[in-house]
Amino acid sequence: MASVFRLHIPNNIWLPNDPSDVPTVGIRLGQHGYAIDGSIIVGSLMSSAHEVDATVDNLIAELECIRMKAKQELGRS
């Protein structure tokens, strides 16, 4: 299954004029879709309370994983 959230690690290619030596990370969208009004949809479409719970639990678990990866990346400097 593709990840909804991904870790973004900027570098000097993306930020060539960044004077900061402080490491930075970000969270970006991986898998997503667009609604007819142009808004971004993350996760699958849901049709039951169980699916809502499962989808939200999965999104939270992904964010927790990104939290750990982001902290590890910041600790490498």
pLDDT at residue 67 greater than cutoff 90? yes
Q: Is 67 helix (H, G, I), strand (E, B) or coil?
A: helix
Q: Supply the pTM of this predicted model.
A: 0.76
- pLDDT value, residue 58: 94
More confident residue, 44 or 54: 54
State yes or no: pLDDT of 26 exceeds 70. yes
Asked if pLDDT for residue 1 goes beyond 70, the answer is no
How high does pLDDT run on average in the chain? 85
18-44 average pLDDT score: 84
Q: Which amino acid is at 16?
A: P
Q: What are the domain boundaries of the chain?
A: 5-75
**Is 6 within 8 Å of 29 (Cβ atoms)?**
yes
